A and B are shown apart, each in its own frame.
Chain A
């Protein structure tokens, strides 16, 4: 904590394995990344790439049959292997989470005020019931809910989708967490409301200085919100870069494939159809031997791609990609 160069959250060699009837399912494999205090890290990947498993591992909420190895350090404190009681202290207090579907994540029979108060009561926050109540109103105001004094008495079903997501955000920051994990916070919302909710996240971050991990499959959301981006594929990270670097100096073939599959306003429709990445991601029970992306990669070479897992190598300072053919790829740009 005292060392300013030390990242707020450091994940090293994280591996999450499930023993299934079909064999060992490796959902996260050798994942390493840092989150620095105050930044917004976007984690991008397809369904099944291990994004949500990573966030559950950070919160210590994976089911008991999951085998978690590696290291997750928050301000230098190791979280892997903490007891359930110790982990409960961390959850909600130091690391909080915003869910995708706010209606499902809010208790239908508790008023939003009671739920906000509950978040503080669990951690016996300073003050007491009246102070928590006042803070609940203040939090609703902070996330941009009009007339919070009245809304605090209402139930989740009396809120619209965007308003519910704001309530979720208010709940997550009730105890001033150091890290806020937002797991697809806008996926269930209309596009116009998405922008508002992202704006709320940004405001909250400015006011509280909290660090945000934004998990999404939407590169557009990342482009507008994140400072740095980590692209995940088949349980590992393929590329990490500052957000501008990722979009302008795209290094990894998978990231390039993702960007080429997006419709773009600055490209004329007669320049051809949108490209897609052939094939589909490997099953967690049958990861390829070498590079995870090798079977779908347009730059595939038998040696070394099928032989060994590529190590992350530096593209420019702060921008790394895990690809054997990085020199050739960067050369042909």
Chain B
């Protein structure tokens, strides 16, 4: 009999087990063991609180100008300094973060959901369903992303909603292909036959038996897609196709500061970049941690 003493001890703590807590608790425990993931969670939560709570947290209201003051380097009054219009840069960054983070997270959620559903259906159904869905993903994969984005945003106007929809429309294909390939191999596993033998219907098999096996892949994809969406949004805004002033995102703050290279205000370029870097790194670490935590067979270190 192979017994993992850690689990037995943990289970013994709670003599009356209730539904599903065993699984959820051990996932949390494994996640907490991943130091970087924990750090990433703290940093990301901090950023989210600061950005979404900017109205209360930011030192100055959004867009408050002080033309007399003009640009100043970081100081006690303005932690990250001020820009040409005398706006407090830290406040601006926090308000801009709302749009950047929202775009990143929403795009990742939409793209992953759509991609997972289509990929799972394609992989499990096979035949012409698979063929149609995969040819559509091919279509999305062969078009040059940035060019389509620029054109779409020119045509549809570059409101944050449009940006989210266009980024999600371009982003779902990757996860669809990954999920499809996973489902293709999983559906041949005997536990799928076993699920059919207990009388489970096809939707139930997909949702209850196959999807939990994809949790790691999906978690990693959400993290990568969030990071990618934030970066693409920044790129677009930097190029001038993305979020338009007076709305601000980290990307268009970068773009506005780009002209300052070589002047002594170049620090205005560093801060938006640093925020993007921190966010993307945190999210990637969280993804790593989730991938390990969601695999019950991962080595208990």
Contact = CB atoms under 8 A, between A and B. Distances in A.
Interface stretch (A68-76, A157-165, A293-301): A157-165
A122 B204 contact: yes
Interface of A: 59, 61, 85, 88-93, 96-97, 99, 101, 104-111, 113-114, 117-119, 122-123, 129-130, 133, 146-147, 149-150, 152-155, 157-160, 163, 168, 171, 174
A105 B199 contact: no
B23 interface: yes
B11 A150 contact: yes
Given A104-B190, A119-B198, A157 B296 contact: yes
Contact of B17 (A104, A149, A163): A149
A173 to B, nearest CB: 11
11 contacts: A91-B199, A105-B194, A109-B295, A119-B198, A130-B18, A149-B11, A149-B15, A150-B8, A150-B12, A153-B11, A154-B4
Given A96-B197, A110-B212, A133 B4 contact: no
Interface range, B side: 35 or more
B213 A108 contact: yes
A148 B118 CA distance: 39
A187 B4 CA distance: 26
Interface in B269-301: 294-297
A165 to B, nearest CB: 13
Given A93-B199, A109-B296, A159-B2, 5 more contacts: A92-B197, A99-B190, A109-B215, A111-B23, A153-B22
B18 A133 contact: yes
B194 A160 contact: no
Contacts, number: 117
A41 B167 CA distance: 61
B68 interface: no
A90 B199 CA distance: 7
B213 A91 contact: no
Contact of B193 (A105, A123, A155, A159): A105
A43 to B, nearest CB: 17
A89 B2 contact: no
Nearest to B19: A129
B209 interface: yes
A120 B22 CA distance: 19
Interface string B187-208: 0011101111111110010001
B64 interface: no
A168 B194 CA distance: 9
Contacts of A130: 18-19
A158 B191 contact: no
A160 B213 contact: no
Contact of A99 (B7, B194, B296, B297): B194
Contact of A88 (B18, B19, B199, B213): B199
B3 interface: yes
A90 B197 CA distance: 9
A122 B3 CA distance: 30
Given A122-B204, A133-B19, A158-B2, A107 B297 contact: no
A122 B200 contact: yes
A27 to B, nearest CB: 17
Contacts of B194: 97, 99, 105-107, 168, 171
A89 B193 contact: no
